[in-house]
Amino acid sequence: MQMRYTEEKLNTFSKETLIQLFLAQQEQLSEIDKKLQLVLEQLAVMNQNRYGRKTEQMPVPQQMAFADVNGELVMFNEAEALASLDENEEETVSKKHPVKKKEKRETDLSGIPVIKVEHYLAEEELQERFGKNGWKQLPDEIYTRYRFVPAKVEVEEHHVGVYASKDGDSMTKAPHPVSLLRGSLVSPSLEAAVLNGKYINGVPFARLEKEFSRYGLAITRQNMANWTIECAERYLAVFYDYLHRYIYQSMVIHADETSVLVRKDGRDAGSKSFMWVYCTGGGEEKAVILYEYQKTRKADHSEKFLKDYEGVCVTDGYQVYHKLAKEKGNLTVAGCWAHARRRYEEAVKALPAKSRKSSLA
The strand pairing partners of 302, in sequence order, are none
Paired sense of beta strands 311-315 and 331-335, if any: parallel
- The answer to whether 343 touches 282, Cβ cutoff 8 Å, is no
The residue type at 233: E
What is the spatial distance between Cα 19 and Cα 25, in angstroms, rounded to a whole number?
10
Distances (CA, A) of 324 to 35, 109, 309, 329: 40, 51, 11, 8
Cβ-based neighbours of 315, under 8 Å, separated by 6 or more: 254, 255, 256, 321, 333, 334, 335, 336
**Side-chain-facing half-sphere of 315: CA atoms under 13 Å:** 24
- Residue 101: per-residue pLDDT: 60
Phi then psi for residue 277, to 5 deg, are -125, 135
User: How far apart are the C-alpha atoms of 54 and 77, rounded to whole Å?
Assistant: 14
Identify the pLDDT of residue 86.
55
* Residue 212 to residue 125: CA distance in whole angstroms: 48
Q: What pairing do the DSSP bridges indicate for beta strands 272-280 and 72-74?
A: unpaired
**Residue 45 exposed, middle or buried by CB count within 10 Å (0-12, 13-18, 19+):** middle
* Per-residue confidence (pLDDT) for residue 97, from 0 to 100: 57
Q: For position 11, what pLDDT does the model report?
A: 85
pLDDT at 2: 65
Can you say how many angstroms the Cα of residue 105 is from the centroid of all Cα atoms in its chain?
A: 27
Task: Please list, in sequence order, all residues whose beta carbon lies within 8 angstroms of the beta carbon of residue 298, skipping any fewer than 6 positions away.
Answer: none
pLDDT at 105: 55
Q: What is the pTM of this model?
A: 0.64
CB 198 within 8 A of CB 221: no
- Sorted by sequence, the CB contacts under 8 Å of residue 223 that are 6+ apart come out as 186
Neighbours of 174 (CB within 10 A): 10
**DSSP labels, 165-190:** -TTSS-EEE---PPPSSTT----HHH
Question: Domain spans of the chain?
Answer: 184-244, 250-346
Instruction: Enumerate residue ranges in the chain where pLDDT < 50.
Output: 58-69, 71-82
Distances, alpha carbon 327 to alpha carbons 245, 296, 321, 335, in Å:
21, 21, 10, 18
Structural contact between residues 308 and 248, judged by C-beta atoms closer than 8 angstroms: yes
Q: Which bin fits 266, alpha (ψ -120 to 50), beta or left (φ > 0)?
A: left
> pLDDT value at position 67?
45
